């Protein structure tokens, strides 16, 4: 299981993956808005999204768990 943790605080602008989705390494999973900039988060591995712990519009903190991917 691969945990996707946030590298910075911000707000969730767009969630592009949901549980059950198959993703490839490099696919954009979600986009944060940080200081008026869009920061995309990409899948580090090929796998299946098994959990999403964030929602669009949510204010999030650094190191918060965002998603989990099963290889």
Give the model confidence (pLDDT) of 33-62 as tens digits.
999 999 999 999 999 999 999 999 999 999
Quick one: how far is CA 69 from the chain centroid?
Answer: 10
Parent domain of 9: 2-70
Report yes or no: 31 and 39 within 8 Å, Cβ to Cβ.
yes
Q: How many domains does the chain have?
A: 1
Q: CATH number of the domain at 8, please.
A: 2.40.50.100
Q: Kindly report the pTM of this predicted structure.
A: 0.94
Q: If phi over 0 gives left and psi between -120 and 50 gives alpha, with beta otherwise, what is residue 20?
A: left
Running DSSP on this structure, what letter comes out for residue 63?
T
Q: Report the mean per-residue pLDDT for the chain.
A: 97
Identify the pLDDT of residue 36.
92
């Amino acid at each position: 299981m691969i945990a996707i943790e946030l590298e910075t605080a911000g707000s969730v602008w767009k969630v592009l993956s949901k549980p059950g989705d198959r993703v490839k390494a490099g696919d954009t999973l979600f986009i944060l808005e940080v200081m008026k900039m869009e920061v995309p988060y990409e899948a580090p591995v090929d796998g299946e999204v098994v959990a999403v712990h964030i929602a669009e519009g949510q204010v999030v903190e650094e190191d918060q768990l965002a998603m989990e991917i099963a290889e």
